[in-house]
Amino acid sequence: AQSVTQLGSHVSVSEGALVLLRCNYSSSVPPYLFWYVQYPNQGLQLLLKYTSAATLVKGINGFEAEFKKSETSFHLTKPSAHMSDAAEYFCAVVADTGNQFYFGTGTSLTVIP
């Protein structure tokens, strides 16, 4: 079975500060991991994905995430927060043999000017 846990339902950072959103996964088989962003009243948009090619994954808008098998983590980071980063962020997992995505409960990011 696969699942993800996002620590912190709300995260606030100052503009220009480091963004760190946490995601831990559970999977009995090699997983594929994803981060999605949802802006208000919109659908989800893919930020980045881990597909076993490289442990450090770079995505859109300056975000990146590192797959750490030993820690079963896939945390999302951005060196310098921008006001436009304020949104809901979801981590998701799918097994390489599976047909179902499992999403975390989401982290709402607030950027303080």
Partner 1 sequence: NAGVTQTPKFQVLKTGQSMTLQCAQDMNHEYMSWYRQDPGMGLRLIHYSVGAGITDQGEVPNGYNVSRSTTEDFPLRLLSAAPSQTSVYFCASSLQPGYPTDTQYFGPGTRLTVL
- The residues with which 21 forms a beta bridge, in sequence order, are 76
Contact 55, 81 (CB under 8 A): no
Among 35, 81, 104, 111, interactor with partner 1 by CB under 8 A? 104
Neighbouring residues of 22: CB distance < 8 A, sequence distance ≥ 6: 6, 7, 8, 73, 75, 76, 107
User: Quick one: 63 or 102, whose CB is closer to partner 1?
Assistant: 102
User: Quick one: 36 or 80, whose CB is closer to partner 1?
Assistant: 36
CA distance 17 to 7: 19
Site for partner 1 in 55-84 (CB under 8 A): none
Site for partner 1 in 1-60 (CB under 8 A): 9, 32, 34, 36, 41-46, 49, 51-53
Site residues (CB under 8 A) for partner 1?
Answer: 9, 32, 34, 36, 41-46, 49, 51-53, 90, 94-106
